Structures are given as structure tokens and as C-alpha cells.
Structure 1
Amino acid sequence: TLPTPRARGQLREGFRYVRHTPELIIPLLMMGLAGCLTYEFQVTLPVMASRGLHAGSTGFGFMTAAMGLGAVLGGLVVAARGKIGLRALVLAAGGFGIALTLAALAPSLPLELAALAFVGWGSISFMSMGNSTLQLTAAPEMRGRVMSLWFVAFQGSTPIGGPLVGWLMAVAGARAGLGLGAVTILTVALGGLIALRATHGSARASRVRPEVRVAEPTT
């Protein structure tokens, strides 16, 4: 299809379109919150390596490598299975949160590396499922505007949460940053599950609503 020509009011139209489409607004809200407080690994991992595990720069290198390896494997599995949609996104967020909780509590570097491999897996699964769900759900003429909102929700929210996460680790310790990310993504998963059930419940009610007819009196 030909690209939609630029015109005034397109961004406003995109917001309106997303707001009235649950399959779009729910993933965007989930990523906005997760991007703000969960995807702060450039802040949390160095502090976790140096102060939480006392592993230094070598340990930090292993931690990033473990997370990258998990992300590669997770991406391959997501591509092979091809599952998208709100249900798959909620499950990915839940698994991501569990792995991040284990990473925040890991008492040693080997256990941290194992947990971070699953963190990478869950992270790429959550991102790729959300991205694919938006692209395949949005109408072709609205896809560019929807994906722009996805980029803003992810990349635009991360700088907002960075100072807060850094302050929290300075006050509560090195593990608090990963812990906050875990609580956030688990909350996102729970909110997504509630929204998913509410959406499906409304759709089911509209499908089974009986048609009421008024009988005309006979003479």
C-alpha cells in the first residue's frame, strides 16, 4: 500500500485510534510503565555487579553476556512459535518479572548469571510480542503512527525512571533497582491480565446478549 500523506491532525487521530482499540492501548500502557522502571539495566546491572555481588568489571561483563545470550535464545523461540496477542504478552511479562525477581535475590554470581539469562529471554519476549501485536493489529494506514507511540512508550519513558532507580539504589542498596523493576513488570502483568479479562468479558457479553422483541397484541 502507498504511504499515507502527511496532514495536520494525524498524531491526534493516532491517539484517538489507539484509545478506542484495546488490543493497542493495553500493550502501549504496559510498555510505558515497564520502560520507565524495568528497562533500566544500564543503571542497575553495573551497581549490582560492583556493590551487590562485588564481582567488579569482569563480573559485569559476564552478566551482560548472560543476559544477551538469553535474549538471543528467547528471540529464536518467539520467532519459531509465532504467538502474539494480549494473552501471550501477559504471560511474557509474568515470566519476565519472575526472572527479574530471582536476579534481584541471587546471592552469588553463578546464580545471578543463570537468572539474567532468563531475564534476557523474558525481556526480548515481552518486547517482540508487544511489537508484533501492535503491527499486526493496527490498520495499515495507522501502523506508522501506532509504532511511533510504541517507540515513545519504550525509549521515551526510560530516561524518566533512570534518576529514580539510581536514587533508590543509593538509599536502599544495589538490589533495590532490580527489585523495583521486578515489582513493576509483575504489576504490569497483573494489570494486563485484568484488562484482558475485562475486554474478553465485554466482547462475550455483546455476543450473547439476547435480542428482545415486543410482541404486538393480536385482535
Structure 2
Amino acid sequence: VVEGIKYVAQRPTLIMIMVLAFVVGSFGLNFPVFNSVMATTVFDADAEVFGLLGTIQACGTLAGALMAARRQGSRLKFVVGGAIGFGITVIAACAAPWLWLYAIMLIPTGWAAVTFLNSCNVTLQMTVDPRYRGRVMALYMVLVMGGTPLGAPLMGWLAEILGARASVFLAGLISLVAGLWGLWHWNRHAPQGELRRRVRRIRVRFMGR
């Protein structure tokens, strides 16, 4: 276990994925809590609507999984982009004034969440030395799943104190800040300005020289 932790500590890309997985998994991926408090305290809905919200979000999750299966090339950009996109969609969802609009916003939220998680998983599987893969994946699962018992009660408590919208907003904001940190970290450690070249190509393609 110690060797696995040392292996991760020496690789900036793995550190970034682990940090993002812990932060987003602990504070952002708590939609059983968020959907329940939003349905009951904000929209005055019942348990049937709460179940429907989960089903609608699952549609976005399924779409994200199907798109992930077709994806080729580097997954690191989808790790960072997924975290940022997840934060943005969560913030947008918490501001929805009507139940049906909140439900619609759960579709891109589910898509961003599964894009982020799938990209983290695949990037680790493809880049880690096979001798350490089991230990690194175990550490990843501890961080992405083990943080939920800490984050879910905290976000539920904040929903009671500050209100459901404030709690969901904080979850989205924390995820967004983590994603932006990941973007900065990636840019800092990318070999020979890889991220800068990507941004330059996008700018030339859509905006011209």
C-alpha cells in the first residue's frame, strides 16, 4: 500500500485525478441527498417525484456512458472537462425555478458525472504501471467512494441550515473550483505546453488566427 501511495505521489497526473475524484465524489456526487431535499423542500413534491428525478438523471448517465464507449485518444481532457462541466450543470440545476426545468438539467448533470468518472477510471487503467495498477485503483476507489460518508451528511446538514438550493450550489461550486484547479495543474505539468497547443488549435479553428 505504501509503495502504491509513493507511486502516485511521484506523478502529477495521478495526483490531479485523485484530488478531483475525492473532491467531486465527496461533495458533488450526492444526488440522492440533493434530489430529495430539492423535491420536498423546494418544489413541495412527494416520493414519486423523487424517484422520477433519479430516473431522468439516469438517462443522462446512460448517454454519457454510451458516448464514453466511443471515445478515443487522451482521456485526461475529459477528466478536467467533466469536472468543470459537472460543476456548471449542478449550479445551473440549483437555480431552476420550476421542477420540470430542474429535472431537465439533471440530464446534462448525469452526463457530466459519468464522463468524469469514466475518464478518471480509464486514464488510470491505461497509464499506470501494471505492477501498481491494483494498488492505485484501490486508492482511487477509496477516495471516490470513501468520501461519500463524509460529504453526504455534511451537504445534508448544510441543506437543513442554509436551504436546499444553497447546499446544491455549494456542491457545484466546489466541483467547479476543483475542475479549474485541475485545468491549472494540467497546464502546469503538461509536457512542453501540450494544453497551450490544444487551446491554440481550438482558437485557430473557431476564431481564425
Normalising by structure 1, report the TM-score.
Answer: 0.84
The match for 2:85 is 95
Q: 2: CA distance between counterparts of 1:143 and 1:193?
A: 24
- The residue identity in structure 2 corresponding to 1:204 is Q
The match for 2:96 is 106
The match for 1:18 is 8
Match of 2:121 among 131, 139, 159: 131
- The residue identity in structure 2 corresponding to 1:38 is G
- The residue identity in structure 2 corresponding to 1:78 is A
| Aligned-partner SS, 2:131 | helix
Which protein is richer in helix relative to its size?
2
Q: 1: CA distance between counterparts of 2:45 and 2:99?
A: 7
For residues 70-117 of structure 1, what are the alpha-carbon distances to aligned partners after superposition, in whole Å with 9 as ceiling and x for unaligned?
000111011112354322211111111111111111111110111001
- The residue identity in structure 2 corresponding to 1:161 is G
Tell me, yes or no, if the aligned pair for 1:49 and 1:60 is still in contact at 8 Å. Answer: yes
Rg larger for: 1
Q: What is the percentage of aligned positions where both structures have the same residue?
A: 35
Aligned alpha-carbon RMSD (Å): 1.3
Q: 2: CA distance between counterparts of 1:95 and 1:35?
A: 14
Please state if 1:149 is matched with 2:139: yes
For residues 36-72 of structure 1, what are the alpha-carbon distances to aligned partners after superposition, in whole Å with 9 as ceiling and x for unaligned?
1111112211111101111211221221011001000
Q: How does 1:31-50 map to 2 (within 5 A)?
A: 31-50=21-40
Gaps of 5+ in 1: 1-10, 206-219
Q: 2: CA distance between counterparts of 1:58 and 1:12?
A: 47
Gaps of 5+ in 2: 194-209
| Aligned-partner SS, 1:140 | coil
- The residue identity in structure 2 corresponding to 1:17 is Y
Tell me, yes or no, if the aligned pair for 1:84 and 1:130 is still in contact at 8 Å. Answer: no
Q: 1: CA distance between counterparts of 2:89 and 2:177?
A: 14
- The residue identity in structure 1 corresponding to 2:192 is R
Q: 2: CA distance between counterparts of 1:23 and 1:172?
A: 36
Q: 2: CA distance between counterparts of 1:188 and 1:103?
A: 18
Q: How does 1:156-175 map to 2 (within 5 A)?
A: 156-175=146-165
The match for 1:204 is 192
Tell me, yes or no, if the aligned pair for 1:71 and 1:117 is still in contact at 8 Å. Answer: yes
- The residue identity in structure 1 corresponding to 2:114 is I
The match for 1:54 is 44
- The residue identity in structure 2 corresponding to 1:14 is G
Please state if 1:79 is matched with 2:69: yes
- Of the structure 1 ranges 33-42 and 191-200, higher mean CA displacement relative to structure 2 is found in 33-42
